[in-house]
Structure 1
Amino acid sequence: MTEAMISSFWGPVTSTTEWCEANYTHSSYIAEFYNTISNVPCILLALIGLTNALRQRFEKRFSILHISNMILAVGSIVFHATLQHVLQQSDETPMVWEMLLYLYVLYSPDWHYRSTMPTFLFLYGAAFAVVHSLVRFGIGFKVHYGCLFLLCVPRMYKYYIYTEDVAAKRLAHLFLASISLGSICWLIDRFFCKKLTPWYINPQGHAWWHVLMGFNSYFANTFLMFCRAQQLGWEPKVVHLFGFFPYVKIQKPKQQ
C-alpha cells in the first residue's frame, strides 16, 4: 500500500481492512478508485435481473434478491470510497443479509413450516447487524460469511443435478467459473500485495473480484429463477439477449 497522492476528504483510514490499491490517487473524495467504480457492473446486472423479474411477475423473493445485490454494491461503493469503519458495515452487513436471502430462496420450497424460516433469518440478520455495529470483526467475519456460503452449496448442487436443461446448466457453469476466477483475484490481491505494489500497473485484483462477483450474482439469480419457475410449472427456458446475454423467459399456465 502506498501513501495517498491527494489529500483525503474523509480523514484518516479507520476501517479494519485495506486493499492493494493506493489511496486517493484520482480524487480526494474516493479512497480506492478502482475498487469503488468496479461495483457499477453489479448494479447494472442486478437492475437487468430486477426488470426481468418484475416484467414476468416472478415471485417477490427474486425482486428482493436483485435489490439486495444492488444494495450490496452501493454499500461497497460507499465503503471503498471512504475507508471508514462505520461505513465498512454498509459493505459487510449487506453481504450477510444477501447470503440469508439465498438460503431462503434455496431451502424454502421444501420447508413445511412457512413462517419459521423467514422469521428466523430476519431475526438472525437483525442480530448480526446490531452485533456488527458494536464489535470489530476481522477474520471472524470472513469465516462467518464463508460458512453461510457453504450452507448454500449442497442445495445449489441438488438443483444442478436435477436440472436437465443444457442452457440452465451452462448458467451454473458460469456461476462456478466466475466465483472461482473472482476468488483467485481476491486471494492474489490479498496475499501478494507487497509483490504487486512495485509493478508499474497494479492488476487491481479486488476490483476484478467486484466485477466477477457482479456477474456471479446475476448467473446465480438467473439459474435460481429457472429452477423455481420449473418447480411452479411455468415452462422456463433460457434465452439470450443480443445472442449472448442470458435471461429466463417463462410461460405461465393460462389459469394463472
Structure 2
Amino acid sequence: MSETMASSFWGPVTSSTEWCEKNYTHSSYIAEYYNTISNIPCILLALIGLINAMRQRFEKRFSVLHISNMILSVGSMLFHATLRHVQQQGDETPMVWEMLLYIYVLYSPDWHYRSTMPTFLFLYGAGFAIVHALVRFGIVFKLHYIGLCLLCIPRMYKYYIHTIDIAARRLAKLYVATISLGSLCWLLDRLFCRQLTNWYIYPQGHAWWHVLMGFNSYFANTFLMFCRAQQLEWNPKVVRLFGVFPYVKIKKPKKQ
C-alpha cells in the first residue's frame, strides 16, 4: 500500500478543519482511517449504556443521551472518512446538541419551571443548527463548545461531593481521568503535528481522543444514572460485568 492513495472517492477536502493523520493511506473511501475507525468503540459503549437504560427502565432522558452519543460518533466517522463540509456539520452540530442534553440531565432535577428548560434548550439547539449551516465557524465553535462543557462542571462536582458510594465516586474519577488524558492527546496532536508525523510510528493522538472520549461519555452517563437513581430512591448499585465493566443496577420500590 502506498503512503498516500493516488485518488479519493470523496474528492478534495472542503472541511474547515483537517487533522494531522495523512489522508487516504489505507483506502480511497476513507480519508483519515484511524480517526474514522476509532469511533467504533464509542458506538459500542453507548449501545451498552442504552441497553442497560432500557432494560432497567431508567428515565427516557438517559436513553436519549446514549443515542446522542451514538449519533455523534457516527457523525464523526462520516466527517473523518470524507473531510467534507456537510459531514463536518454532521459532526459538530451533534456535539452541541449532546452538551445541551447533558445540561438538561444535570440541572433539570432542581429546575422548578419544568417546561422552560427543555423549550429553551431545544430552541437554542435548533437555532445553532441553522446558523451553523449558513456560517463556517472556526475558533468560535471551539470556544462555544468549551463554554457549554464548563457549564456542566459545577453540577458534576456537586453530584460528586454529595455521593458517598465509593464505586460511584470512582466512576466520576474515571470521567475526569479520561477527559484529561483525551484532551492531552488532542492538544499534542494539534500542536506538534509536524514533529509527530516524522516519528517512525505516528501515535494517532486524535484517534486516541475518540476512544478516550467514548469511555468518558460512558463513565459520565453511568455516574449520572447512579445519581438520578439515588434521587428517585431506586437503591442504585454499581456492579461490574465479568468483574471489570461497570454499570448501574437498580431496585425500584414495589409501588413504582
Give the TM-score taking structure 1 as reference length: 0.98
CA deviation vs aligned residue, 1:62-108 (integer Å, no higher than 9, x gap): 00000000000000000000000111001000000000000000000
**Distance in 2 separating the partners of 1:227 and 1:251:** 14
Q: Which aligned pairs between 1:2-151 and structure 2 lie closer than 5 A?
A: 4-151=4-151
Matching residue's letter, 1:177: A
What residue is the counterpart of 2:180 in the other structure? 180
What residue is the counterpart of 1:246 in the other structure? 246
**Distance in 1 separating the partners of 2:113 and 2:123:** 16
Shift of the alpha carbon at 1:201?
A: 1.1
Q: Which runs of 4+ in 1 moved over 3 A?
A: none
| Contact 2:75 2:91 survives alignment (8 Å) | yes
| Contact 1:6 1:25 survives alignment (8 Å) | no
| Contact 1:6 1:27 survives alignment (8 Å) | no
Matching residue's letter, 1:31: A
SS in 1 for 2:14: coil
Shift of the alpha carbon at 1:6?
A: 3.5
SS in 1 for 2:5: coil
CA deviation vs aligned residue, 1:110-169 (integer Å, no higher than 9, x gap): 000000000000000000000000000000000000000000000000000000000000
**Distance in 1 separating the partners of 2:81 and 2:6:** 13
**Distance in 1 separating the partners of 2:251 and 2:17:** 47
When structure 1 is superposed on structure 2, of 3-12 and 238-247 the one drifting more is 3-12
What residue is the counterpart of 2:155 in the other structure? 155
CA deviation vs aligned residue, 1:27-75 (integer Å, no higher than 9, x gap): 0000000000000000000000000000000000000000000000000
What residue is the counterpart of 1:214 in the other structure? 214
How big is the alpha-carbon RMSD for the aligned residues of Structure 1 and Structure 2? Answer: 0.7
Matching residue's letter, 1:58: F
SS in 2 for 1:9: coil
Shift of the alpha carbon at 1:198?
A: 1.1
For structure 2, the residue ranges without an aligned partner over 5 or more in a row are: none
Matching residue's letter, 1:44: L
**Distance in 2 separating the partners of 1:230 and 1:40:** 31
SS in 2 for 1:182: helix
For structure 1, the residue ranges without an aligned partner over 5 or more in a row are: none
Give the TM-score taking structure 2 as reference length: 0.98
SS in 2 for 1:206: helix
Identical pairs, percent: 82
**What is the number of residues matched between the two proteins?**
254
SS in 1 for 2:239: strand
